[in-house]
Structures are given as structure tokens and as C-alpha cells.
Structure 1
């Protein structure tokens, strides 16, 4: 999926942060991606937050310069390897992604969290709490583009610069790898997020969801360093 790259473990308790965005709910769609680019919500001034989303250098060391240029534009800032999805239980997962919510703007959803209940495919009935770290330029209404390694790089491919990935990323440029065994080709730093897709997620292919905004669990904001203040 197209995103604005320059504007663009174990069970953890659901510890809640203090603030959340205005309550929203509805039904929507999902896709998947992992382009390694600096997320849109990692830039200053995008929303009322404690700090922008953390970014990392090519070796997954957290950068202190929040204005560092994206690795997708020849810079040094990439998505950090701890911003991958993981299972909290058999029926609950945490993760990150690009978001577009009907009637809202980036200032509303950046670093907000949403509880997704999958309503189709192998993951139907399971829930995922997703923190919005990015914005999808080509996403439809109420659309959640889940960040999962091996999910396809789309238009922007920072994974070649960060990890030496093939020019189209791992697998197909749109959609990514098609089997769990293909996850073995990914770097060890992000491989678990690829396995998650075929294990907890059951290999689901862009399932539909119902969603509602929720207060972000501390386990999610600890990785991004980004908590909404309004």
C-alpha cells in the first residue's frame, strides 16, 4: 500500500495509558505492509502527542533526531524492529499500522489505538489492538494497513537500504510472502512478525473488521514512545 514515508514474547498485561483520541467505531477493511520506511507519525507536529513515533537506524538503534530523513528517501530513519505484531493470547494480539478513519485526519489518529475484531477469514473472532503509527495515502475509508514484516513493501521500499532485501521486498511487492517458510528469508530482527501472520493470524488475507477506539496499552506505547495528550 502507498504510505506517506516522509510526511510521511510472551503475554503482556493490558496496562493502559492516560489519554486517547475522540471515540470512534465502525466497520472497515485491512491490508498488510512492511516497507521499513520512517512512519508518518514519526514527524513532529502531526498530532497532540508526548513525542513522535520512535525511529531507528539500519541496525535498529533508536535515533535521537526526530527529524532524521526517512530511509526511503536516502536518509537514516527506518521503522524499528519492535514495531511488529505479537500475540498476547490465543485471541488477542498487539501491533501497529497505517490508518485512515472516515471523517478524521492524521492529527486525530496518529498514535491513537483501535481494537480490531476480525470478521472474516481464519482470524475471525480474534481481536487486535493496533496503534496508528502511519498514514496510508491510498487507503479507503475505515482502513487499517497492518504493519507485518513480509507483508509487501508497496511503492516505498526502504527494506533494501535497511536489510539488503530484494528490490521488490520479500515475496510479491504487494502482498509479500505467501507461506510461512518464506519468512525464513527475512532478517532475524523482524522474522517473528512474519511468522505471526501464519501462526496467530492464520494466514488471513486482508480480513474485514469491526473496530472501536480504545486507550493504548502501555506495551504498545513503550515501543513507539508516542502517547496522545488529547
Structure 2
């Protein structure tokens, strides 16, 4: 129950919010006529602009979000005071002794955003823009209005007329759980191993219909039919195992199904973007932090408030979180993964995936080779375009997806943005199962020649998973085994 003083304060705050507006100023134009970016903080609801180690927005329902509207904490009363504290979701103090009546107010503009993915948001004097990784720009209602050049930051309409310019990578990123977002689940699946959301050139709205966009070549393990001459199934027990990525224990962990946990069927995709994991942020981890690292993913670091390398910060994915096997446990693997953003607080949960021997888009010898193999995953991340039943496995060389924080790693080219090295090999070898597998092994060795650990992780896809793209599975929630807890 709220303290009486806080109730009174919020009532006064409502009056303030109703008659106050932001100090934000419109952007001006540069000498070349292109509008200069002016950071304009907006919200669909009235909010207090709170200044701490970064920008926060506080609302009359006592929630606190970041600039993009993702909840990171709460407003809490200070007994016998009209001031308040700002705390994170775990109750840790972010800002102390705040006088809300003297705090700048952002007047709600009632604008909601229809998105199908994480998206950069820019609002300046020229308009309100949502910028997708595909470079398509829409208005808040999802209507396509132009194209963004991520190198120059220039946004143009479809006739080539310049609309505005911004440092796109520094913009707030709206997510499915942001306060003012109406998330529309896309039909396209993974942010890492499938075709990203596509856009119709004959329509003004975002679409995922395959008839509206024909990629120049098939992605990942799509509907292309592999040749049958070299696709005889191999026994899963005869598939080569990765000794370099094994943990020596001599026996499989006893995996226990979690009572009342989730279960179902789905498919596995893959990614490795080097970004700081979702579960390494204080507002998401709930005290159960996933590891984060500096020094090319090698040095663990507990400065949880540090930013991600994908947005200019120092923190990134630890290479110790590569997938692995255990000696003496040949039919079970272990990995970390992203789950749907709609699952909410899934940090540190574990699932057992049992592969069915089929692929989501096509089935070849590589899929059949992993039939009945089990992969135990632990959640460290979420994906706005990851669907229910889909697990996006962290595998070096699996594709960087929307963000690429791997440029400083000293690795070779990471392959297709969505699908990585395996997608490269599938295309190069015309989806011939045997040739694709050989190609993947060669690429892992070549691309990660300077990083033995990343090479081990890449070879997990070639060896334990036999180069199977988007394999189908049945899944069940399980108690997390210690071998994953130790690496989480």
C-alpha cells in the first residue's frame, strides 16, 4: 500500500503533468540542409524525466522505465518525506531523495508504436521514425516511409529525398515489452537463422508474406530440396564428437523435469552477436546475472550497469558460454540460448530439447543424424522475433542477427547475417548435406583460427548437431544441471 504522503504527491503530480511540458527543443538544420539530430525524449504517457547514471522516466503508476520504455524499476516512498527514491526491479537504489514536484515533466503524446521487431526510434522536428535493421523506416503505425543508411545516418523517402539524419546506433531501441509498443509477432522466425522480416514494395505496411519479397538466394535451411545422392542418414552414434569442447566428467548429468514447467514442440535456430546478454542487465536479471565479459569475451566482469559493446559500451558475451559436450555423454549437449521476449522473466531457466530428426523447412541426412539427441539449454537472452517453441542457440559463427558486436574479436567473416557460416555453406554446396557439413567444418577452422575457444563452439554445430539447420524438437522445462549453472 502506498504511503499517504506519496498518494498526495502523486495527486499533485497529476496536476503538474497536466499543465507542464518538456523543455525539449526542435532540431535545427545544418549548412547542407540536412536536419541535425536533436535528442527528444517522448512517451505515450505523462512522465517525470529523472536524471541518474542514464535517462529514466517515472510514471504515476509508480513504474520507472528507460528512455525506450522498458521497465527497469519503481518509485518508492520515503517515510515521513514528500520526496521519493527510485529503485531497480530488485529494490537496489538508483536515485535517492527525488523531489518529483521540482522534476522536469514530459507531456504524453499518446503515440503508440506498431513494431514486428526491436527497432531504433528517432523523433525530431521532421518526424517520428522507426528504423529496422533491414534499413526500412516506418512511421509509428507501421507504414513504410523510407530507407535508412546506417553508415551515413541519412534517412530518405522512397524517391531519394532526404528526410533527416541521425546517429542511428545511438538511438533508443524500442522492444516488444516497451511501455508504448504494440508488438506484432512476425511470421518469419529467427533473428539469427532465418529470413528477417520482409517488406512489400507494393504496400505501405509491414508484411511477412513470402509472395511480397523474393530473396536472391534461399536462406538457411529453407525450402530448397537437397540432392539425394549424398544424403543417406548416418547413425547419430557415429557422428563425430567434439573432444575440444568437451567437459571431462565421465557421465551424463541426471536431468530432472520441472514440475509444472513448460513443454511443447518447436525448432532450434542459432546466433552469436557478441552483445552483452539480456540477463546481464540489472533490470532484467532479477539478481540472477548471466556472465558478461570484456577483453574479447575472455575477462569476466561484474560491473552490471556497464553498457553493451553493441551500443558503445565495454561488456560483451563471454566466450566461455560456447556450447559443449561431456565426455562419456555422447547423445547430450549443453548450450545457452535466447527465448521469446514475450516469455518475460526467463533468465536462468533450463529446457531439454529432444531432436525429432526433421527440419523446419526441409529434412536431410544431417537432420536425421541427430534424431533423439538431447540439447539442454539455459536462457541468457530474449529475442523480439523469437517465437514460442523456438530456441535461438548461442553458437559462434551462427549469424550476428540484428546487432554485430563481434568486429573487435579478430575473427574472420561471420557469414550470412541471419544464419551465419552454415547458411553460407548451404548456398555454396546447393544444400547437399554431406558437402555442407564438410564446408562448415572448414569454415569454423578458418574463421576462428585465432580463437581456439570460439572454434570449439563453432564446431559444436558441425559435430554434435551434424550441421542440421533449424532442426525440429520436442522440449520440456527441466531443473538446471550444475554444468550449465557453472557457466551461466
Instruction: Give the alignment's TM-score, normalised by structure 2.
Output: 0.41
Q: Which residue of 2 aligns with 1:212?
A: 476
**Is the 1:94–1:128 Cα contact (8 Å) retained in structure 2?**
yes
**Is the 2:255–2:478 Cα contact (8 Å) retained in structure 1?**
no
What does residue range 108-147 of structure 1 map to in structure 2 within 5 Å? Answer: 109-119=346-356, 120=358, 121=367, 122-147=369-394
Q: Which residue of 1 aligns with 2:270?
A: 32
**Is the 2:337–2:391 Cα contact (8 Å) retained in structure 1?**
yes
Deviations 1:45-95 (A, max 9, x none): 32545x310100033100120121101111111110111111222210010
RMSD of the alignment, in Å?
2.5
Q: Which has the higher contact order (CA 8 A, sep 6+)?
A: 1
More strand, by proportion: 2
Q: 1:3 to 1:90 in 2, by over 3 A?
A: farther
Bigger shift: 202-211 or 55-64?
Answer: 55-64
Provide structure 1 residue ranges, at least 5 long, that are not aligned to the other structure.
225-230
Q: Which residue of 1 aligns with 2:415?
A: 171
Q: 1:53 to 1:22 in 2, by over 3 A?
A: farther
Partner SS for 1:173: coil
Match of 1:197 among 461, 477, 487: 461
Q: 1:90 to 1:7 in 2, by over 3 A?
A: farther
Deviations 1:163-211 (A, max 9, x none): 0346xx5121111113111012212231101011111110010101100
Distance 1:128 1:190 in 2: 19
Distance 1:57 1:22 in 2: 38
Do structure 1's residue 23 and structure 2's residue 261 form an aligned pair?
Answer: yes
Q: Which residue of 2 aligns with 1:61?
A: 299
**Is the 1:16–1:218 Cα contact (8 Å) retained in structure 2?**
no
Q: Following TM superposition, by how much is the alpha carbon of 1:116 offset from its aligned partner in structure 2, in angstroms?
A: 0.4
Distance 2:441 2:260 in 1: 38
**Is the 2:294–2:301 Cα contact (8 Å) retained in structure 1?**
yes
Q: Which residue of 2 aligns with 1:183?
A: 444
Q: Which residue of 1 aligns with 2:281?
A: 43
Provide structure 2 residue ranges, at least 5 long, that are not aligned to the other structure.
1-116, 120-172, 176-245, 359-366, 426-439
How many residue pairs align between the two structures? 213
Distance 1:198 1:127 in 2: 16
Q: Which residue of 2 aligns with 1:105?
A: 343
Instruction: Give the alignment's TM-score, normalised by structure 1.
Output: 0.84
Bigger shift: 176-185 or 202-211?
Answer: 176-185
Q: 1:212 to 1:79 in 2, by over 3 A?
A: same
